[in-house]
């Protein structure tokens, strides 16, 4: 089964290249650095930094969501082990950008970043031989059969952290049980978010002694004094002298923006000064979202222009990277996207940590346990249509006490479930100690 997978992957390679080229129509970064996807290590990145015998930690986080969860893990480990060097691979340009912005100034000469090669031995083997990682840390669900097989063959320990496995994904892996079982046995350690995730991995063939449920590291948010100050400044800027209310629609996908703008039109009947801060998941969609606003006669201003919205602006288009966490601290109610369309939802822990009540769509399989916990606290509600969105948001906008109570419930869930980061760090350090001994 493994050999069949490898040959099918080779046959599909032209389609993957066409996909990258197609994505490059909207984001030209997809058409760049293709050599890396074939395992080529570009010398000008500074591989000479990697002296023989150095400890090299390889972390793979596919896209921006996984990368955001990776950053505090790397910062914690890097502070505890200043001699370690870091190789971070991503799949998407947005993930790449966040790596350079968030980690480059901190790690400096200790950081390398590449796109991960296609999952074929002829690309992965030279990549690994050139960069010589000591360990591979994989974020969440980025499981690739040949990647794990090559690491296993070269005796490189692999650990899956913040692992999650939805019932839907588990059924998909089970359809190819021969391939999945062999792949999972190549993983040295699996740290899952919750016991249900661990049970699904075991059902698929992961040895039970290699797996542990430690919680989600996304709960370990550190909202420091600088963030609070920045959020307060944003809030004053957005609200202006009229103290207008702010609705944040975060990480939206195509098909969601239209529903949110419909809901916003409905909400403006009772909240005429309401400011909608609309943040597409991928900033390259900003032009398309701006056209949607213009077609509806809405006056929008872009965050990237550096201008504060005035009382006549109805929409602030969040087309920058790295500011969303701060945005949550400046709003009254937050919608978290990827949930009105079957993406599986994005991180609703961030608004919860600020004490902000959350509205989501019904597609939450990527955060099934987290969303259930926050929903049980009263801090999250589900809406499926634009009218439902408007109704549920209106309840919180019109009732401050109820809004605060809902936010407090969400914040309590975030606080009670923290601690997974420390447990994950301990497990990684133990694995590295065994590797180096």
Q: What is the DSSP string of 137-185?
A: EEETT---HHHHHHHHHTT--EEEEEE---HHHHHHHHTTHHHHHHHHH
Mapping DSSP onto H, E and C, the string for 225-254 reads: HHHHHHHHHHHHHHHCCCCCCEEEEEEECC
**Catalytically annotated residue among 36, 48, 66, 376:** 66
Give yes or no for a contact between 232 and 328, defined as CB atoms under 8 angstroms apart: no
Task: Say how far apart CA 174 and CA 178 lie, in whole Å.
Answer: 8
Which residue(s) pair with 161 in the sheet? Answer: 139
What is each CA distance from 222 to 14, 73, 114, 219, 245, in whole angstroms? 43, 12, 27, 9, 26
The tokens of 145 are what?
A: 């059969």
Residues 6+ apart with CB under 8 A from 243: none
The tokens of 91 are what?
A: 């799949």
Which is nearest to 69 in space by CA: 177, 173, 219, 175?
219
Which residue(s) pair with 382 in the sheet? Answer: 360
Give yes or no for a contact between 247 and 267, defined as CB atoms under 8 angstroms apart: yes
Give yes or no for a contact between 350 and 330, defined as CB atoms under 8 angstroms apart: no
Give yes or no: 401 in active site: no
Give yes or no for a contact between 425 and 80, defined as CB atoms under 8 angstroms apart: yes
Give yes or no for a contact between 251 and 346, defined as CB atoms under 8 angstroms apart: yes
H/E segment holding residue 189: strand 189-192
Q: Which residue do the tokens 């989600």 mark?
A: 216
The residues carrying an active-site annotation are 66
């Amino acid at each position: 089964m493994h050999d069949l997978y490898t040959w099918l992957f080779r046959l599909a390679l032209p389609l993957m290249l066409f996909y990258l080229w197609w994505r490059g129509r909207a984001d030209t970064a997809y058409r760049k650095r293709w050599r890396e996807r074939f395992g080529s290590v570009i010398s000008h990145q500074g591989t000479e930094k990697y002296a023989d015998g150095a400890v090299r930690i390889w972390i793979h986080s596919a896209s921006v969501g996984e990368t955001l969860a990776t950053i505090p893990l790397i910062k914690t480990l890097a502070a505890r082990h200043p001699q370690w060097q870091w190789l971070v691979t991503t799949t998407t340009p947005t993930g790449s950008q966040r790596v350079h912005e968030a980690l480059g100034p901190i790690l400096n000469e200790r950081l390398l970043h590449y796109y991960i090669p296609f999952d074929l031995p002829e690309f992965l083997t030279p990549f690994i031989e050139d960069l010589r990682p000591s360990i591979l840390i994989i974020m969440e669900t980025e499981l690739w059969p040949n990647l794990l097989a090559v690491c296993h063959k070269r005796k490189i320990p692999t650990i899956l952290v913040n692992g999650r496995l939805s019932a839907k994904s588990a059924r998909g892996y089970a359809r190819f049980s021969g391939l999945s079982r062999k792949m999972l046995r190549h993983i040295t350690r699996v740290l899952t978010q919750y016991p249900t995730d661990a049970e699904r991995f075991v059902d698929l063939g992961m040895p039970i002694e290699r797996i542990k449920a430690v919680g989600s590291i996304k709960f370990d948010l550190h909202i420091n004094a600088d963030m609070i100050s920045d959020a307060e400044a944003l809030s004053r800027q957005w609200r202006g002298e009229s103290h207008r209310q702010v609705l944040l629609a975060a990480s939206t996908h195509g098909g969601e923006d239209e529903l949110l703008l419909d809901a916003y039109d409905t909400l403006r009947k009772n909240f005429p000064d309401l400011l909608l801060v609309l943040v597409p998941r991928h900033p390259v969609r900003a032009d398309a979202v701006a056209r949607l606003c213009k077609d509806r006669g809405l006056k929008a201003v872009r965050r990237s222009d550096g201008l504060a919205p005035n009382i006549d602006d109805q929409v602030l288009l969040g087309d920058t990277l790295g500011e969303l966490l701060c945005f949550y601290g400046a709003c009254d109610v937050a919608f978290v996207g990827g949930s009105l369309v079957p993406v599986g939802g994005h991180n609703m822990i961030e608004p919860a940590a600020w004490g902000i009540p959350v509205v989501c769509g019904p597609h939450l399989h990527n955060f099934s346990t987290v969303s259930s916990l926050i929903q049980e606290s009263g801090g999250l509600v589900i809406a499926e249509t634009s009218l439902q969105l408007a109704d549920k948001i209106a309840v919180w906008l019109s009732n401050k006490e109820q809004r605060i109570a809902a936010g407090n419930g969400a914040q309590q869930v975030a606080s009670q479930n923290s601690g997974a980061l420390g447990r994950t760090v301990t497990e990684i350090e133990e694995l590295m100690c065994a590797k180096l001994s």
